Amino acid sequence: MAHGTPFAPAAGMNRGLYSGVQAMAASERRLEAIATNLANVSVHGYKRRGTSTQSFDAALQGRLERQVTTRTRIDFSQGMLEETGEPFDLALFGAGFFALETPHGEAYTRGGRFHIDAAGLLQTQDGFPIAWEGGRGAIDPQGTEVRVDPDGQVWQGQAQVGRLRLVDFADPARLQPDRMGYLHAPADLAPRAREAEVRQGHLERSNVSALDEMVALIATQRSHESAARLMSSIEQGYRRLTAR
């Protein structure tokens, strides 16, 4: 636990305690991310959250302190496609998102279980309409079968209904989930050409691997344990000091 900072005071054990607390807080954050991933393993289009823990020097009250921070990052790798045969189950293959119209501006999702309401409006299970290039495409709910081609073009019989709005971003890691898990883009996030193709009659499974999460779970538990051990040894050191 040597920090080696030139301005560090000699209060060694005390600093060790703080390091231990930071290590335990970091494993708690990791544990929460793992639990979130495991809970969402059956959510279509869910993207796993990875955590990274880093230490850095922070200038605090005129001296440098070693700090530990944990961040979550969304892992946007492709999930497995599962065939369902439902006409409005749309999966994306490759990088990109469906755009949705919400009261809080445009939102993005990869979860592709859409429904069509009585007026022929294609929407998510929470009732947010899907966004189209140009005007909203009107599907005739009483009409013939709807076909969606890989490019996002929607056809009903021989008639072209419109094209779904598919987007991607230069740095999708900066997208922010809202309370329902839909992603929102900050104003300065640059759009980029999407490579995603639509697969009709498929759903994208979550990209959570139970095995990887279990391994991470064990590693987190052990690292928490070592930090806890460290703190008990420091505590024993104090005890010896005060017993004398």
Partner 1 sequence: MIRAMMTAASGMKVQEMQVDTIANNIANVNTAGFKKNELAFREMLYETLKEPGAKTAANAMSPTGLQIGSGAEVASSVKIMRQGELQPTSSTFDMAIQGQGFFRVLLGNGDFRYTRDGSFRQDGDGVLVTAEGYPLDPRVQIPTDAIEIIIGEDGTISVAKDEATAPETLTNISLFRFPNPTGLKAMGGNLYGATQSSGPVQEVTPGENGTGLIRQGYQERSNVAVVDELVALILAQRNYETNSRAIRVSDEMLQQVNQMVR
Which positions touch partner 1 (CB under 8 A)?
24, 27-29, 31-36, 38-44, 46, 49, 56-59, 67, 69-73, 84-86, 111, 113, 115-120, 125-126, 141-145, 173-174, 176-181, 186, 210, 213-214, 217-218, 220-221, 224-225, 228, 231-232, 235
Cβ distance to partner 1 smaller for residue 14 or 133: 14
List the structure tokens of 51: 């955590």
Smallest distance from partner 1 to CB 117, Å = 6
Task: Give the separation between CA 184 and CA 145, rounded to whole angstroms.
Answer: 32
Distance CA 91, CA 148 (A): 11
Shortest gap between Cβ of 197 and partner 1 (angstroms)? 23
Nearer to partner 1, 37 or 96 (CB): 37
String of b and e for 110-130 (b: at least 16 CB within 10 Å)?
bbbebeeeeebbbbbeeebeb
Which residue, 184 or 192, is less far from partner 1 as judged by CB?
A: 184
Residue whose token pair is 């494993």 = 27
- Residue closer to partner 1 (CB basis): 52 or 151: 52
Query: Which parts of the chain fold into alpha helices (H)?
Result: 12-39, 210-243
